[in-house]
Homo-oligomer: A and B are copies of this chain.
Amino acid sequence: MGRDMRWWGWGDPAHRSAPPAHALAWLEGALGPLGDAPSGPVSLEEVRLGEPALPAALRDRLVAAVGADAVRDDREARVLHAAGKSYPDLVRQRAGDCEGAPDAVVLPAAHDEVRAVLEACAEAGAAVVPFGGGTSVVGGVEPLRGPFGAVVSLDLRRLDALEGLDERSHTAVVQAGVRGPELERRLADRGFTLGHFPQSFEYVSIGGCVATRSAGQASTGYGRIDDMVLGVRCAAPAGDLHLPARPASAAGPELRELVVGSEGCLGVITAAALRVRPAPAERRYEGFMFPTFAAGAEALRLMEQQGVAPDVARLSDEHETQMSFALAAEGRLKGEIARRYLRRRHVEGGCLAIAGWEGDADRVQARRKAGAAVLGACGGVALGRGPGRVWAAGRFHGPYLRDDLLDRGVMVETVETAAQWSELFTLYRAVGDALREHAPLVLCHISHLYPSGASLYFTFLARQDREAPIEQWRRAKAAACDAIVAAGGTITHHHGVGRDHAPWMPAEVGTTGIAALRALKAELDPRGIMNPGKLLPEPAPTPS
């Protein structure tokens, strides 16, 4: 355990990458000088880590519940579970600051073992932080203790079964710890796909996706994870919530929608029944270039509202397009795209869109024809499959690039939101303006379409303030979140709330909404052991 993901950064420890010289030169042009040498993380042995504070009696109960091998308090396990993969997480991990690591990592292998762990922790008064793939970029798996003396990271990787695949009902029952690629492999063996491919796909757990209302890169076609969840099984300290797969119901408020997005604060999702689809025979991703972001957005809106949107629909603004070209290997993406576009339009710049269709060959062709007609009518110039292949090859590699940039002292972070189409450009400008006060480079793309609106995904980059990197990040993040809320966007379209967005939840759901969520938590988790400090803002201090 632990060797499958770098503890100080993203992904496969064997992965090697470095930004090419021309990319660094371009970045220095935009951000200013980055310094001479890359600065990597400290070694695992140098990481500062407190003594595990798990009471012996609780440890004994946990061992009785899950077995001795499944209660870990070694350095590696604790460091790996000390943080997720947000920018501040990585800054702290790389610097060897793991003072907040969990006192133990517990690895139950079944729903009933999860229940036993919760009961033991509730009785002993220890916080429990569910841990799936550990890929949260909003502090969702940070092992905060809340008011408790100890905290346990509950790693769900051993709940790794595909419990059932109902081929007739296109429904799979998947345990929470199954990782994205493993699920797709098992489904593909039977001719199916889930179609859920977030950027973190290679490491996400299904339970984590459900708990955070994740949306994948093909969500325009396949839907968000919340569209796929037909049933859930959740172990809450107060009892089990088991909602079996149902196609639809009018039986009152939809409790499934309370578990989805609950981020481990109400209980632990141990399995989900998910809609699956026949695996596509063909995946066709293409590039289109638009003269402006607005023209491209109009094309996306019209396709979606006319029912002819592709399964993958992405549009970069001018800034993101420019940086994509600049960072790409010389003579590959940049050359190919620029050559074709310039030849046709005799202009430089513009906005790159990626449109992807999946399915059997006939349907792909028919849908591509209908979509491309709209793209063309809005000024999009077809660039062929080259840019689509480049995008697909790198679609999960963004987090590696972030590590490379961190090596070079670059702050790089993302914020994402969504709004109605009529409000989208007001939101785009407001967040961009707010971020540019803190970062010279602000990029944006639209990547998830809905009939009523779309998502906006911002990336911002600045030279890291090496003296106070967390404070620098916090200021930029807060400015973006304030701007989002003021402009009517949702505080998060698919990253979730976690620790980082919790202060903006009252703006999102209102005072009464917060009260409703707190009432639910008090009922399902009466001692408040589940993932303290996440999702809900800290209550105002009670006057003494």
* Residues of A bordering B, CB below 8 Å: 166, 168-171, 212-215, 224, 226, 230, 236, 238-263, 266, 275, 277-278, 301, 305, 307, 363, 418-423, 448, 450-455, 488, 490-497, 501, 505, 508-513, 515-520, 522-524, 535
B252 touches A170 (CB 8 A): no
Which residues of B sit under 8 angstroms from A246, Cβ to Cβ? 418-420, 453, 490
A169 touches B250 (CB 8 A): no
14 contacts between A and B (CB under 8 A): A170-B421, A171-B452, A240-B512, A241-B509, A244-B488, A247-B455, A250-B490, A250-B492, A251-B497, A252-B263, A255-B517, A515-B524, A516-B524, A519-B519
Which residue of chain B is the closest to A242 with respect to CB atoms? B510
Contacts A170-B421, A251-B497 given; 18 further ones with Cβ under 8 A? A169-B453, A241-B510, A241-B516, A242-B510, A243-B509, A243-B510, A247-B418, A247-B455, A248-B453, A249-B492, A249-B493, A250-B490, A250-B494, A251-B505, A252-B505, A253-B517, A515-B524, A516-B523
Which residues of B sit under 8 angstroms from A496, Cβ to Cβ? 250-252
Which residues of B sit under 8 angstroms from A524, Cβ to Cβ? 512, 515-516
Q: How many copies does the complex hold?
A: 2
**Complex Cα–Cα for A398 and B375 (A):** 46
The 5 closest A-B pairs by CB, nearest first: A247-B453, A519-B523, A257-B257, A247-B450, A213-B250
Which residues of B sit under 8 angstroms from A226, Cβ to Cβ? 254
B450 touches A497 (CB 8 A): no
Which residues of B sit under 8 angstroms from A420, Cβ to Cβ? 166, 168-169, 171, 245-247
A239 touches B515 (CB 8 A): yes
B245 touches A253 (CB 8 A): no
B171 touches A493 (CB 8 A): no
Which residues of B sit under 8 angstroms from A450, Cβ to Cβ? 247-248
A262 touches B254 (CB 8 A): no
Which residue of chain B is the closest to A488 with respect to CB atoms? B244
Which residue of chain B is the closest to A523 with respect to CB atoms? B519
Q: Which one of A169, A421, A454, A491 has the greatest number of beta carbons of chain B within 10 Å?
A: A169
Q: Which one of A238, A495, A513 has the greatest number of beta carbons of chain B within 10 Å?
A: A513
B516 touches A250 (CB 8 A): no
Which residues of B sit under 8 angstroms from A241, Cβ to Cβ? 509-510, 512-513, 516
Which residues of B sit under 8 angstroms from A518, Cβ to Cβ? 523
A535 touches B252 (CB 8 A): yes
B512 touches A251 (CB 8 A): no
Which residues of B sit under 8 angstroms from A240, Cβ to Cβ? 510, 512
**Complex Cα–Cα for A65 and B230 (A):** 44
What's the nearest-Cβ distance from chain B to residue A49, in Å? 31
**Complex Cα–Cα for A166 and B493 (A):** 21
Partner of A248, one of B255, B418, B520: B418
A455 touches B248 (CB 8 A): yes
Which residues of B sit under 8 angstroms from A509, Cβ to Cβ? 241, 243, 251-252, 255
What's the nearest-Cβ distance from chain B to residue A223, in Å? 10
Which residues of B sit under 8 angstroms from A224, Cβ to Cβ? 248
Which residues of B sit under 8 angstroms from A215, Cβ to Cβ? 248, 250
A166 touches B519 (CB 8 A): no
Partner of A512, one of B239, B505, B508, B510: B239
Given A239-B511, A241-B513, A249-B493, is A168 in contact with B421 using a C-beta cutoff of 8 Å? yes
What's the nearest-Cβ distance from chain B to residue A277, in Å? 8
What's the nearest-Cβ distance from chain B to residue A309, in Å? 13
**Complex Cα–Cα for A266 and B356 (A):** 43
**Complex Cα–Cα for A240 and B234 (A):** 29
Which residues of B sit under 8 angstroms from A492, Cβ to Cβ? 249-251
